[in-house]
Every structure is written in structure tokens, then in C-alpha cells.
């Protein structure tokens, strides 16, 4: 230290000319132990009354910074690689899990269609059990892959104006057949005019499907009300799904949003569920800056709701 800049610049480098005053240059310099180190040279101009213009040079050893930059760069590319591997893993998992199910469900189906020949009543009953279990396994696989896609950030959420009434009507239409098999009637209440909310259409549909699906299973033999409520101020709309099922004890209300957790009081009604529907719905709601809320009275029923900003 205390030497002119040129003294620490390695041979072959020209001293910085006046045109680069104010610039900041990274170059290689010779350390006092003789090794080459990266340095940052910054220049600033000083006007003096006696000697005219002076240039001040600051030479900073940036070995540590360079080392950290290198480490960061390495970590980023490692992360990118891991994320690619994870995405490929998801695609492979989906493929590998579905391929054997194709034969299981496929041949159960051909047997039940009696294509190879007649079945006795017991065989038919047992094959229906194989089919129902296969379909259940498929929905668990689908939900797990959905969840894995959400958690790996692979689900693209596009927040645009979505007509809530149209989403609800489409969901209700698609679930009518399920409701019929459970002897449940579906009622939609609320403004029949379009009400736009800021949402991702696919995610919102999936949430409403999950909520109505659950409600149908709990409401066996009665009705499910899906209500659209515009807040008085008009800046939020709530979509709520009310069933007249057994209700959920207060101690279980938090747990039901966790993966594979079910309320003991309602476990029987959710035998055919995957235990992932509410968990996925909550994750999707969070991606849309919202939450799924629940209110329930044991013996009277439950209401699940999602509230969205109107636009």
C-alpha cells in the first residue's frame, strides 16, 4: 500500500486514461505474495484550486466477492438442475403409475362388459369392488400428482376476470350425475347476472368441484346449496357451499385441510375420498391470494367458502 496504482497492476495493462474517470473496472492485479487476484479499480475526479484536476483511484481486492459470486452461480445451476429432475420425475411418475392401472381397470371393464363371456352374480360383485378400488387409486394418484405440481410451482396461475356464476353453473352441471346417485339435489342461489372476480379459472373450478363433491357425499339424501354472495361494498364475492351433513367438530376444523387428515366424525362419509381434496383446494386458493374457510355445526351441516376480489 502507499504505492501508485501502476505499481500493483500486472505488466501489459495500461494505466487508466482520463476518459474512464467515474468508471469502475474489474481487472487482475498482483498481490504482495505474488499471486494474481481480482481487483476492482474505481476512479473519481477531484478538482483542486492549485494543481487542476486530480484523479483518485481506489483499488479493492474483490477475491471474496468473486468467490461468493462463483458459489451462488453454482448453487443456482444446481437448483435449476434439481427442479428439472423433479419435473421429469413427476412426468415419469404419472406415466409409470398409470400404465399398470390401464390393464387393471381395462380388463376389469371388459369382464364387467361381459365381452369374454357371462359372469355369475358373485363374480360380478367382486369385479365391481376391483373396479371401485382401481378408480379410487386413480383419483389418489391424480390428486397426488396435482399436489406435486402445485408444490413444484408447475401450476400456472393466471389471474384474470372470471365469471363466477358461469364457473359455478358449469361445476353443478358436471356434478349432477354424482348428486343423483347420492339422492342429493343441488341448488344455486345468488345473482344470475355475471359477476367477475380476479381468479384463475381452472383453479377456481377445481376448488368449487372439490367443495361441491365433498358436500354431495355428506348431504346423502338431502340438498347442497351453492350460494354466490356479493359483499355490500361490492368489492368481494363469496362462493359458499353448504351441506346438511353430520357437521365437523370444532376440534377437527383445522385438521381437515391437512393432507390425508379426516374428521373421525365424517370418516365414513369420505370413504371414497382421497383425503387430499381440501388440502389441494386450500393450496390453490393461496395461489390466488385467497383462503378456503369453514364453518360447521355438528348435527346441522357445514359451509365451506372462498372469497375473491371482484373486478
Establish if 94 lies at the interface with other proteins (CB under 8 A).
Answer: yes
Nearest to 61 by CA among 41, 81, 78, 77: 41
Interaction mask 186-225, other proteins, x per CB under 8 A: ----------------x-----------------------
Dihedral angle sign, alpha carbons of residues 214, 177, 129, 206:
negative
Establish if 102 lies at the interface with other proteins (CB under 8 A).
Answer: yes
Site size with other proteins, rule: CB under 8 A = 26
Establish if 7 lies at the interface with other proteins (CB under 8 A).
Answer: no
Nearer CB in complex with other proteins: 25/160: 160
226-265 core/surface letters (b: 16 or more CB in 10 A; e: else): bbbbbeeeeeebbbbbbbbbbbbeeebeeebbeeeebbeb
Q: Which of 10, 15, 22, 106 binds other proteins (CB under 8 A)?
A: 106
What is the separation, in whole angstroms, between the first and last Cα of the chain?
64
Q: Report the Cα 203 to chain-centroid distance in Å.
A: 10
Establish if 149 lies at the interface with other proteins (CB under 8 A).
Answer: yes
Nearer CB in complex with other proteins: 41/203: 203
Q: Which of 10, 15, 22, 109 binds other proteins (CB under 8 A)?
A: 109
Q: Which of 31, 53, 84, 154 binds other proteins (CB under 8 A)?
A: 154
Pull the grid cell for residue 167.
364457473
In sequence order, which ranges of the chain are alpha helices (DSSP H)? Answer: 5-8, 63-112, 121-151, 164-181, 201-218, 277-287
Residue numbers at the binding site for other proteins (CB under 8 A) = 90-91, 94-96, 98-99, 101-107, 109-110, 113, 115, 134, 138, 145-146, 149, 154-155, 202
Amino acid at each position: 500500500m502507499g504505492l501508485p496504482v501502476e505499481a500493483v497492476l500486472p505488466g501489459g495493462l495500461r494505466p487508466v486514461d482520463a476518459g474512464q474517470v467515474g468508471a469502475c473496472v474489474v481487472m487482475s492485479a498482483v498481490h504482495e505474495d505474488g499471486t494474481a487476484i481480482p481487483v476492482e479499480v474505481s476512479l473519481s475526479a477531484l478538482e483542486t484550486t492549485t494543481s487542476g484536476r486530480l484523479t483518485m483511484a481506489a483499488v479493492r481486492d474483490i477475491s471474496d466477492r468473486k468467490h461468493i459470486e462463483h458459489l451462488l452461480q453454482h448453487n443456482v445451476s444446481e437448483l435449476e438442475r434439481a427442479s428439472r429432475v423433479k419435473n421429469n420425475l413427476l412426468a415419469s411418475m404419472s406415466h409409470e403409475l398409470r400404465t399398470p392401472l390401464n390393464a387393471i381397470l381395462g380388463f376389469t371393464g371388459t369382464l364387467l362388459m361381459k365381452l369374454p363371456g357371462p359372469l355369475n352374480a358373485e363374480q360380478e360383485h367382486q369385479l365391481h369392488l376391483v373396479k371401485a378400488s382401481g378408480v379410487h387409486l386413480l383419483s389418489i394418484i391424480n390428486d397426488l400428482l396435482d399436489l406435486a405440481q402445485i408444490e413444484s410451482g408447475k401450476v400456472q396461475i393466471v389471474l384474470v376476470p372470471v365469471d363466477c356464476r358461469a364457473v359455478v353453473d358449469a361445476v353443478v352441471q358436471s356434478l349432477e350425475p354424482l348428486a343423483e346417485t347420492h339422492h342429493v339435489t343441488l341448488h344455486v342461489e345468488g345473482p344470475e347476472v355475471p359477476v367477475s372476480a380476479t381468479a384463475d379459472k381452472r383453479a377456481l373450478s377445481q376448488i368449487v368441484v372439490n367443495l361441491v363433491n365433498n358436500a354431495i357425499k355428506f348431504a346423502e339424501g338431502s340438498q347442497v346449496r351453492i350460494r354466490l354472495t356479493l359483499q355490500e361494498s361490492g368489492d368481494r364475492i363469496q362462493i359458499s357451499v353448504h351441506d346438511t351433513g353430520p357437521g365437523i367438530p370444532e376440534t377437527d376444523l383445522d385438521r381437515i385441510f391437512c393432507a390425508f387428515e379426516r374428521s373421525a366424525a365424517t370418516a365414513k362419509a369420505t370413504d371414497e375420498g382421497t383425503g387430499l381434496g381440501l388440502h389441494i383446494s386450500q393450496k390453490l386458493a393461496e395461489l390466488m391470494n385467497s383462503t378456503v374457510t369453514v364453518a360447521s355445526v355438528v348435527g346441522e351441516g357445514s359451509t365451506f367458502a372462498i372469497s375473491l376480489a371482484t373486478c
